[in-house]
C-alpha cells in the first residue's frame, strides 16, 4: 500500500515546508525558553560550584548570602576554622552593581575574596587568561562575559582596578558576570559613603551629647573612627576536611557559633526553589502558552488541509477505504508537520537563538527528547479535530443529487 | 469477472417518519444483464440519486431486494456485513466529476483500489496499465490529474471504476462536464468495457446527447421506475 500522506506531502511540499518552518520558529522559541530555564538553574549551580565551598555560614536566620542580605563579623572565620572537620575557611562579600569601564558600565556581581592561593574558597577556580589576584588592593579578575579585557581599568565606587585575569562561567544566579577583587576593597566598596554623607554623619555624631561628652576626651574620635570602617562580610565559606560529615560539621557550627549554616544541597534548594522560583514559573507559563499556541496552529493547519480534501475523502470512503487509512493519512501529515517543525525549531534554538540571547541558554539533550515527544503528542492531539471532521464525511457526498 | 448483473425488486426508500416522511423510492424494479449498459433518466427529485445511493450501499433502503453479481446484498435488510468491502470489490463508481486524488499520479489513482483490497502494489499497477491500454491512456500513465484534459480525467475515472473487475458499475452523470464528442466517447468506452468485462452498468444521466445511445432506459418518476426501449443508436468515435 502506498503512503497517501507521503504522496500528499510530496505533492504540496512547498506549502508543507513553509508551514513547518513557521511552526519550527515557534518550537524554537519554546525550546529556547526551556533552555533559558536550564541556564538559570545552571547559573545557580555554577555559582555554588565555583565558590568551592561545602558550607555557607551566614547571618542567623537568613537565607544569605545570595537569596537574602547577610552580615557577619569578618573575624568569625577564626572560630569556625577551629571547629573539628573544617579544613579551610574564607570570608566573602557579594555586591551586585554597575561597574564602569571607560564610557560604558556593565552589571556585575563584585565578589570580595580573601587573600590566599588558588583553591581558596571564593576564588575563581580557573582562568582563561592572565593571572590570579596577587596584591591586596586594586586588582580584579573578571568573567569573560563582562566584556572586560586584560589591562582594562574598572571603576568601582571611588577606586580603580586593573583587570589582571579573565575567567569563564563565573556568574551570579541572575546570570550577571562576576568581578573578583580583594576582600578589603570589597568591604570598603560595600559600605562606602560619599564625602557629603560622611560629613553629615560626623556632624550628627558630634551633635549627639551621648557621643560628645566633655568629661570623656577621645570618645567622639573613637566613635567616628568606628563609623568609617566596615568589619562585616556576607558569609564565611567553609571547606570540610576529608572524612568528615558535612551535616555534622554544619551542626557544630550552628551550635557553637550560633549562626545559620547552609549545606550545598540546602543552597541549591534556596537558589533554585526560592531565588529563581518566580522566573521559573514565568518561563513555565510561557512554555504552556507556547505549547497551546503551537497545538492550535497545528490543529488549524491540519483541519484546513483536511477540509480542502473533503471531496477526495468522500470518494476514498465510497470506494471502500477503511477509516484507519484516512486517520493514518491525516495523522501522518500532522506528525510530519511536527517533525519538520521540530527539526527547524531545534536548529533555530541551537544555532540562531542561543548565541544571541543575553542570558545563558542551556539546551540539554533530555529536553530535546522531551520536546520531540511533546511535539509528536501535540501533533497527534491536534489532528483529532481534523480526523473527526474526516470521519463525519458521508461517502454519499461523492454522489451528486 | 463473470457477473450476473443487477437485479432489483420492489425497492423502497423512505426518509423521515410520521407526517414528514418522504417516499423517495416507492417501487423500483430493475434488471441489468452482465455486459449491458442501461440509462437511468428522470427529472430532478424523482429519486435517481437515492436509487444510486441504495445500489451503492451508501444508504439503506427501507424494503425490497437487491442482487449485485451473484450475491444478494439486500433483502429487507443488509445481507452483507462489510458494506465498505462490498463497495470496494463489487461496485465500480464513476462520478459526474472525475474526483481523482490530486496527489496521486494517474496509475496510482487507478491502482489504489486493488491496493486497498490488499493486492501488492506491482500487481495493482499492472492492472491499471492493462486498463490504460484498453482506454488508449498508456502515454499518460505517469501524469498527474492536473495535467490531463477533462476527457482524459474521465477515462481515468472509468479505469478506476473497472480496475477491481466489479460486476456492477454505477455512473452518475459521467458525461455532464464533457462536450458531445467526448461524451459519446465515454459512452463508447463504457459499452466496450461492459462487453469485455461482462459488467452491468447503470448510467444516470440528463444528457440529451447520450440518451439515444442506450438500448434500454429506466425512467424514474416519483420513485417508480418504468422500463422503456431506447434507440440504441450506434456511433463510431475515437476516444478523446
CA dist B222 and B39 (Å) reads 17
Q: Using CA coordinates, name the residue in chain B closest to A5.
A: B103
Summarize the confidence of residues B131-158 as an average pLDDT.
89
pLDDT at B233: 73
Residues B2-52: tens digit of each pLDDT: 447 899 999 999 998 888 889 999 989 999 999 999 999 999 888 888 999
Nearest Cα to Cα of residue A131 among A162, A105, A109, A89: A162
pLDDT at A85: 95
CA dist B203 and B39 (Å) reads 5
Q: Which residues pair with A56 in a beta bridge?
A: A237, A262
Q: Would you place residue B164 in the very low, low, confident or very high pLDDT band (cuts 50, 70, 90)?
A: confident
Q: A340 by DSSP, 3-state: which?
A: helix
Q: What letter does residue A177 receive in the DSSP assignment?
A: B
Taking an 8 Å cut-off on Cβ atoms, the answer to whether A1 and B101 are in contact is no
- Helix ranges (H only) for A151-276 are 183-191, 195-207, 219-227, 246-257, 264-268
Cell 509528536 found at: A376
Distance of CA B187 to the CA centre of its chain: 12
pLDDT at B126: 94
pLDDT at A294: 82
Q: What share of chain B is helix, strand, coil (3-state, %, to 5)?
A: 35, 25, 40
Grid coordinates given for B125: 499497477
Using a CB-CB cut-off of 8 Å, the residues of chain A touching B121 are 1-2
Partner residue facing B172 (CB), from A325, A394, A399: A399
Which residues 6+ apart lie within 8 Å of A18 measured at CB? Answer: none
Which residues 6+ apart lie within 8 Å of A82 measured at CB? Answer: none
Mean pLDDT rounded to a whole number for chain B: 88
Q: With contact defined as beta carbons under 8 Å apart, do B1 and B196 qualify?
A: no
Q: Would you place residue B237 in the very low, low, confident or very high pLDDT band (cuts 50, 70, 90)?
A: very low
% of residues, chain B, pLDDT over 70: 96
Q: Which residues pair with A141 in a beta bridge?
A: A165, A180
Mean pLDDT rounded to a whole number for chain A: 90
CA dist A393 and A399 (Å) reads 12
Size of interface A-B (CB pairs under 8 A): 83
Q: Would you place residue A271 in the very low, low, confident or very high pLDDT band (cuts 50, 70, 90)?
A: confident
Instruction: Count Cβ atoms below 10 Å from residue A270 Cβ, excluding itself.
Output: 20
Cell 559600605 found at: A191
Least confident span in A6-20, A58-72, A167-181, B175-189: B175-189
Residues A221-245: tens digit of each pLDDT: 999 888 878 889 999 999 999 999 9
Taking an 8 Å cut-off on Cβ atoms, the answer to whether A2 and B112 are in contact is yes
Taking an 8 Å cut-off on Cβ atoms, the answer to whether A401 and B172 are in contact is yes
**CA angle, B141 as apex, B140 and B143 as ends, to 5°?**
65
Å from A8 to nearest chain B CA?
5
Query: Higher model confidence: residue A298 or residue B62?
Result: B62
Å from B53 to nearest chain A CA?
7
pLDDT at A292: 86
pLDDT at B154: 86
Grid coordinates given for B113: 483500489
Q: With contact defined as beta carbons under 8 Å apart, do A96 and A111 qualify?
A: no
Structural domains of chain B, ranges and CATH numbers in brackets: 6-101+166-229 (3.40.50.300)
Q: With contact defined as beta carbons under 8 Å apart, do B123 and A339 qualify?
A: no
Summarize the confidence of residues A99-121 as an average pLDDT.
90
Taking an 8 Å cut-off on Cβ atoms, the answer to whether A398 and B49 are in contact is no
Summarize the confidence of residues A207-217 as an average pLDDT.
88
Residues A169-207: tens digit of each pLDDT: 899 888 899 999 999 999 988 887 888 988 999 999 999
Pairing of strands B168-172, B91-94: parallel
Within 13 Å, how many C-alpha atoms sit on residue B44's CB side?
2
% of residues, chain B, pLDDT over 90: 45
Q: With contact defined as beta carbons under 8 Å apart, do A175 and A359 qualify?
A: yes
Torsion, Cα A185 A191 A194 A195, to 10 degrees, reads: -80
CA dist B87 and A319 (Å) reads 6
Q: Would you place residue B235 in the very low, low, confident or very high pLDDT band (cuts 50, 70, 90)?
A: low
Å from B87 to nearest chain A CA?
6
Q: A293 by DSSP, 3-state: which?
A: helix
Which residues 6+ apart lie within 8 Å of A218 measured at CB? Answer: none
Using a CB-CB cut-off of 8 Å, the residues of chain A touching B88 are 319-321
Using a CB-CB cut-off of 8 Å, the residues of chain A touching B115 are 1-2
pLDDT at A401: 52
Pairing of strands B37-41, A104-113: unpaired
Q: Would you place residue B240 in the very low, low, confident or very high pLDDT band (cuts 50, 70, 90)?
A: very low
CA dist B51 and B41 (Å) reads 11
CA dist B200 and B224 (Å) reads 21
Summarize the confidence of residues B93-121 as an average pLDDT.
90
Which residues 6+ apart lie within 8 Å of B183 measured at CB? Answer: B175, B207, B209, B210
CA dist A181 and A189 (Å) reads 10
Within 13 Å, how many C-alpha atoms sit on residue A127's CB side?
19
Summarize the confidence of residues B134-139 as an average pLDDT.
86
The predicted complex's ipTM stands at: 0.80
Q: Would you place residue A132 in the very low, low, confident or very high pLDDT band (cuts 50, 70, 90)?
A: very high
Å from A335 to nearest chain B CA?
18
Taking an 8 Å cut-off on Cβ atoms, the answer to whether A395 and B58 are in contact is yes
Length of chain B: 240
Length of chain A: 401
Nearest Cα to Cα of residue B2 among B69, B68, B94: B69
Cell 560539621 found at: A249
CA dist B116 and B114 (Å) reads 5
CA dist A321 and B117 (Å) reads 9
Amino acid at each position: 500500500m502506498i503512503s497517501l500522506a507521503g504522496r500528499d506531502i510530496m505533492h504540496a511540499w512547498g506549502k508543507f515546508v513553509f508551514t513547518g518552518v513557521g511552526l519550527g520558529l515557534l518550537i524554537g522559541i519554546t525550546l529556547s525558553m526551556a533552555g533559558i530555564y536550564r541556564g538559570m538553574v545552571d547559573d545557580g549551580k555554577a555559582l555554588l560550584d565555583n565558590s568551592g565551598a561545602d558550607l555557607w555560614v551566614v547571618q542567623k536566620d537568613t537565607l544569605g548570602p545570595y537569596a537574602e542580605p547577610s552580615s557577619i563579623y569578618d573575624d568569625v572565620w577564626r572560630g569556625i576554622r577551629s571547629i573539628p572537620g573544617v579544613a579551610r575557611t574564607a570570608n566573602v562579600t557579594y555586591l551586585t552593581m554597575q561597574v564602569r569601564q571607560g564610557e560604558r558600565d556593565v552589571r556585575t556581581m563584585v565578589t570580595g575574596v580573601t587573600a590566599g592561593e588558588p583553591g581558596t574558597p571564593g576564588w575563581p577556580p580557573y582562568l582563561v587568561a592572565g593571572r590570579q589576584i596577587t596584591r591586596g588592593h586594586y586588582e580584579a579578575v573578571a568573567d569573560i562575559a563582562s566584556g572586560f579585557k586584560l589591562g582594562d581599568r574598572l571603576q568601582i565606587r571611588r577606586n580603580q582596578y586593573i583587570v589582571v585575569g579573565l575567567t569563564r562561567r563565573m556568574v551570579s544566579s541572575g546570570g550577571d558576570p562576576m568581578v573578583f577583587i580583594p576582600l578589603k576593597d570589597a568591604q570598603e566598596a560595600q559600605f562606602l559613603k560619599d564625602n557629603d554623607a560622611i560629613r553629615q554623619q560626623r556632624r550628627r555624631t558630634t551633635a549627639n551629647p551621648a557621643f560628645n561628652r566633655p568629661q570623656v576626651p577621645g570618645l567622639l574620635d573613637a566613635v567616628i573612627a568606628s563609623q568609617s570602617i566596615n568589619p562585616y562580610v556576607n558569609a564565611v565559606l567553609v571547606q570540610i576536611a576529608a572524612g568528615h560529615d558535612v551535616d555534622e560539621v554544619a551542626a557544630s557550627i550552628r551550635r557553637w557559633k550560633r549562626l545559620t549554616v547552609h549545606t550545598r544541597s540546602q543552597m541549591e534548594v534556596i537558589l533554585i526553589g526560592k531565588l529563581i522560583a518566580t522566573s521559573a514559573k514565568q518561563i513555565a507559563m510561557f512554555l504552556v502558552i507556547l505549547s497551546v499556541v503551537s497545538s492550535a496552529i497545528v490543529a488549524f493547519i491540519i483541519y484546513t488541509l483536511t477540509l480542502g480534501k473533503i471531496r477526495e475523502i468522500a470518494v476514498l470512503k465510497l470506494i471502500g477505504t477503511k477509516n484507519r487509512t484516512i486517520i493514518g493519512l491525516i495523522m501522518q501529515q500532522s506528525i510530519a508537520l511536527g517533525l519538520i517543525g521540530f527539526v527547524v525549531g531545534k536548529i533555530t534554538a541551537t544555532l540562531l537563538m542561543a548565541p544571541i540571547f543575553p542570558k545563558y541558554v542551556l539546551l540539554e539533550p533530555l529536553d530535546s527528547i522531551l520536546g520531540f515527544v511533546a511535539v509528536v503528542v501535540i501533533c497527534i492531539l491536534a489532528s483529532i479535530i481534523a480526523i473527526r471532521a474526516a470521519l463525519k464525511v458521508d461517502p454519499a457526498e461523492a454522489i451528486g443529487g | 469477472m463473470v457477473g450476473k448483473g443487477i437485479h432489483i425488486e420492489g425497492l423502497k426508500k423512505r426518509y423521515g417518519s410520521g407526517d414528514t416522511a418522504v417516499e423517495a423510492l416507492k417501487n423500483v424494479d430493475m434488471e441489468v444483464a452482465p455486459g449491458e449498459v442501461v440509462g437511468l433518466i428522470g427529472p430532478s427529485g424523482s429519486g435517481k440519486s437515492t436509487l444510486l445511493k441504495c445500489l451503492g450501499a451508501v444508504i439503506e433502503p427501507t424494503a425490497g431486494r437487491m442482487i449485485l453479481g451473484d450475491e444478494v446484498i439486500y433483502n429487507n435488510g443488509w445481507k452483507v456485513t462489510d458494506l465498505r468491502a462490498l463497495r470496494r470489490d463489487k461496485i465500480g463508481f464513476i462520478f459526474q466529476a472525475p474526483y481523482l486524488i490530486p496527489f496521486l499520479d494517474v496509475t496510482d489513482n487507478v491502482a489504489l483500489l486493488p491496493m486497498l483490497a490488499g493486492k501488492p502494489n506491482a500487481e495493482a499497477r499492472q492492472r491499471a496499465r492493462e486498463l490504460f491500454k484498453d482506454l488508449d491512456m498508456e502515454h499518460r500513465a505517469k501524469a498527474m490529474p492536473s495535467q490531463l484534459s477533462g476527457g482524459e480525467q474521465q477515462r481515468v475515472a472509468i479505469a478506476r471504476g473497472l480496475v477491481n473487475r466489479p460486476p456492477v458499475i454505477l455512473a452518475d452523470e459521467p458525461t455532464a462536464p464533457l462536450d458531445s464528442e467526448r461524451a459519446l466517447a465515454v459512452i463508447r468506452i463504457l459499452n466496450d468495457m461492459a462487453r469485455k468485462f461482462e459488467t452491468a452498468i447503470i448510467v444516470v444521466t440528463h444528457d440529451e446527447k447520450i440518451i439515444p445511445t442506450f438500448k434500454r432506459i429506466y425512467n424514474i418518476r416519483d420513485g417508480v421506475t418504468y422500463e422503456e426501449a431506447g434507440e440504441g443508436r450506434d456511433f463510431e468515435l475515437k476516444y478523446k
